[in-house]
Structures are given as C-alpha cells and as structure tokens.
Amino acid sequence: METIAIRGARTHNLKNIDLDLPRDRLIVITGLSGSGKSSLAFDTIYAEGQRRYVESLSAYA
C-alpha cells in the first residue's frame, strides 16, 4: 500500500473530497482560513488512523 486513500470526506467545510496521500512522506496542508485544513487533518485523517489502530487490535487481548 503506497498511499492512504481518502474518499468522500465530508466534515465541516469538506464536501465529498477524494485524495491519495503518499505514505512515509511529509505532507503539508495549506489553504485559506476556513477552507477545511484542520477538518482534513484532525477530523478525517486522525479519525481514520484511530479506526485502523482499533481494528488492528485483537478482540482476544
């Protein structure tokens, strides 16, 4: 898996955004005030990382 795919992100100012982020790279998010940078970084990407982490835990641990 070379990229992290985000499909249909809809949080705050984000309206059905699709993007592919390269893995193992520094990614910079820029834009105007109120354009959805924090929504993308925290509400979408962070939440997906949390979901994947929890999914990776064994139910029997």
Give residue-wise pLDDT tens across range 46-58: 888 888 888 888 7
- For residue 19, being part of any structural domain is answered with yes
- For residue 34, being part of any structural domain is answered with yes
- For residue 61, being part of any structural domain is answered with no
- The mean pLDDT value of the chain amounts to 86
- For residue 8, being part of any structural domain is answered with yes
Amino acid identity of residue 38, one-letter, is: S
- For residue 30, being part of any structural domain is answered with yes
Q: Which two tokens stand for residue 42?
A: 């925290």
* Domain encompassing residue 22: 3-56
Q: Is 44 exposed, middle or buried (0-12, 13-18, 19+ CB in 10 A)?
A: buried
Dihedral (Cα; 43, 47, 28, 4), 10-degree rounding: -130
Number of independent structural domains in the chain? 1
At residue 10, the pLDDT reads 87
Prediction pTM value: 0.60
- For residue 36, being part of any structural domain is answered with yes
Tell me the pLDDT band of 38, cut-offs 50, 70 and 90. Answer: confident
Pick the residue with more confidence: 18 or 48? 18
